[in-house]
Amino acid sequence: MQPLTSAMTTLKKSLLAALKSFLRGRSFLQALLAFWISPNALREQHVNGKRVYPSRTIEDFLGEAEKLFLGPIDGDGLKRYSSDLKRQFRERLHSHPECMLPSFNHLLPTGKERGQYLALDVGGSTLRVALVELRGREATGKESEIVRMVSFKITPEIKKLEGMSFFDWMAARIYDVIHKDIPHRQDIIPMGLAWSFPVEQTSLGGGLLLGMGKGFLATNGLLGQDLGELIKFACKKQGLNVQLEAIVNDSSATLLSQAYVHASTRFGLILGTGTNIAVHLPVSAFSRAKYGKRPESWFESATHVIVNTELGMFGKDILPLTRWDELLNADHPRPDFQPLEHMLSGYYLGEICRFAIIEAVKTAGLLGGQLPPSLEKPYSLDTEILSRIEADTSPDLGAALSHWTTHHPSTTPPTLADITAIRTLATFISRRSAALLAASVFSLWELRHETEAERVPATLKPTPSNDSGVVLPSPSVDEEIMDLESSTKVAFNGSVIEHYPKYLPMCQSYINDLVSRSQYPGSVDLVPAIESSILGAAVALACATTTAT
């Protein structure tokens, strides 16, 4: 009887295995035939030539992934994390030379600046030269307009231009765009610049050139020279008398572009391939050492300053890391340099998902236990693919299947169950990113409340200004406190927050929940900033030249 019992048991297992295979897209007869040819074929899978046996179901894997990705941000977890993050922000107001960096720009627009302004945006792949018209905040819906803009591709050949050759190329393009608009060649042409590369600012319109990276050779022989002077010298060869009046980075430009429209804008948020936040804080919040060398006149005129937080550098030792986050960090050329960036930005979200997929393939039989060859390469799973998969809400996920198989073909075609599992993983990762970004905004919002409150005693008038003998705060402090109690606008820009399905409403929902539980009054609203680099450079220029006059 024992052989017969064993045979019956084997048959029962084979039928169950065949049924499972049928559910994976193979016919029952094909599965059963495969068993009779090779009984082990249904119970084992081959990965890199090795036999492996799924140790758990995909449902079990996804259940654990959900706990790891989302468990730490549920309940009070996100609030606790935001408090830890705020503590890190505070510490670095007084230390650390690479983040919480006060810029030279302490001016927010009044909304009364008017005129046409020349603005440049130099990015990793494009130079844009634009003439921007500012019409005033009361011109609702038409406050600012790009009158004319010409984009020039920065090709690999242009990136290889060394030293002044690159700036000469820039100057020639500027001449091409504006030479017909200049009545007298000797007139000084003020210019605002959005510069997407490192620079050590020495004034609002001056800064020492640092390594540009991204394949650019323009800094060869020019490191440490003044960026404004280099552009001025190059333009002079074209007969243009330009003066660089304002330099801004992308997050500061985003803040300024919307502050011109919405007076309550105090944050500029970037979330695309990378991430960053600029915030408007009191000058008194920082230690004097953080300001480096700048004239005393700057401190006499500045009460607040636009701060480049370098957000991605925060989060070490407080972020809720999964084992897939740890794998990403271990493989990174600069581990622990930008912990929060790894969990927020578009450059890394796909890579986190790739690590999770690799494990699911090995241990839970995802994709038939066969990893598509393309996914063996680091950073081969683009976040845009995850975005397209999440965007597909049809019952058969036809579009998602098509995107997947086009970019990651395999000898074992994915089933609906496979794509559903990958889509579920993507939602965990994008939702966690939205929650952590919301916590970042909220922590800085609370920090701004606290530093404004700390500033009040230092800005009280030294003598009474009425008969009561009560010392009154200056009007500027009153205005800031009133502003804090109303709606605060966060201007945003970037491919992930703009285009990733449901990301923006998820992030806003998390912000609303955190603000509702804060001791501080007010609300925080995310608002889009279209063409923020160009418009922000123009607004920075308008602020600088209006003050100068």
Question: pLDDT tens for residues 358-415?
Answer: 999 999 999 999 999 999 999 999 999 999 999 999 999 999 999 999 999 999 999 9
Tokens of 213: 């990276």
Longest dimension (CA), the chain: 109
- The C-alpha atoms of residue 210 and residue 95 are separated, in whole angstroms, by 21
Query: For a pLDDT cut of 90, what percent of the chain falls above it?
Result: 76
Tokens of 99: 């983040």
The answer to whether 203 and 104 have CB atoms below 8 angstroms apart is yes
CB neighbours of residue 15 within 10 Å: 14
Q: Which of 135, 153, 154, 158 is nearest to 145 (CA)?
A: 135
- The C-alpha atoms of residue 281 and residue 261 are separated, in whole angstroms, by 19
Helices (H), 276-415: 296-301, 323-331, 339-344, 346-364, 383-391, 398-407
* pLDDT band (50, 70, 90) for residue 22: very low
Mean pLDDT of the chain: 86
- The C-alpha atoms of residue 349 and residue 381 are separated, in whole angstroms, by 9
The answer to whether 267 and 126 have CB atoms below 8 angstroms apart is no
Taking residues 502-527, report their average pLDDT.
Answer: 97
What contacts 253, CB < 8 A, 6 or more positions away? 194, 268, 532, 533, 535, 536, 537, 540
* pLDDT band (50, 70, 90) for residue 49: low
Tell me which residue has tokens 């009425």: 466
* pLDDT band (50, 70, 90) for residue 34: very low
CB neighbours of residue 129 within 10 Å: 23
Taking residues 298-302, report their average pLDDT.
Answer: 93
Question: What are φ and ψ of residue 38, in 5° steps?
Answer: -150, 95
3-state secondary structure of 67: helix
> CA angle 312-214-245, nearest 5°?
80
- The C-alpha atoms of residue 292 and residue 353 are separated, in whole angstroms, by 41
Residue 75 clears pLDDT 70, i.e. is over it: yes
Q: Beta partners for 308? A: 101, 278
How do 487-493 and 265-271 pair as beta strands? parallel
Secondary structure letter of residue 136 according to DSSP = -
- The C-alpha atoms of residue 471 and residue 97 are separated, in whole angstroms, by 37
Residue 288 clears pLDDT 50, i.e. is over it: yes
pLDDT at 40: 33
pLDDT at 17: 44
Tokens of 269: 């948020």
How does pLDDT run across 217-240, given as a tens digit for each residue?
Answer: 999 999 999 999 999 999 999 999
How does pLDDT run across 101-147, given as a tens digit for each residue?
Answer: 999 999 899 999 999 999 999 988 899 999 999 999 999 999 999 99
3-state secondary structure of 448: helix
- The C-alpha atoms of residue 102 and residue 385 are separated, in whole angstroms, by 37
Higher pLDDT: 400 or 37? It is 400
Tell me which residue has tokens 């009054």: 521
3-state secondary structure of 13: helix
Residue 13 clears pLDDT 60, i.e. is over it: no
What contacts 276, CB < 8 A, 6 or more positions away? 249, 250, 251, 269, 270, 308, 309, 310, 311, 312
Q: Which of 18, 23, 89, 2 is nearest to 415 (CA)?
A: 23
Q: Which of 446, 520, 418, 346 is nearest to 85 (CA)?
A: 446
Tell me which residue has tokens 């919040």: 285
Residue 14 clears pLDDT 70, i.e. is over it: no
Tokens of 403: 């995107």
- The C-alpha atoms of residue 3 and residue 409 are separated, in whole angstroms, by 44
- The C-alpha atoms of residue 390 and residue 425 are separated, in whole angstroms, by 10
C-alpha separations of 254 from 353, 386, 448, 486 in Å: 30, 26, 18, 21
Q: What is the pTM of this model?
A: 0.84
The amino acid occupying position 549 is T
First vs last Cα of the chain: how many Å apart? 104
How does pLDDT run across 258-268, given as a tens digit for each residue?
Answer: 999 999 999 99
Tokens of 239: 């007969």
- The C-alpha atoms of residue 202 and residue 292 are separated, in whole angstroms, by 9
- The C-alpha atoms of residue 118 and residue 181 are separated, in whole angstroms, by 11
C-alpha separations of 26 from 17, 20, 42 in Å: 12, 9, 12
Distance of CA 157 to the CA centre of its chain: 28
Secondary structure letter of residue 181 according to DSSP = G
3-state secondary structure of 163: coil
- The C-alpha atoms of residue 404 and residue 387 are separated, in whole angstroms, by 11
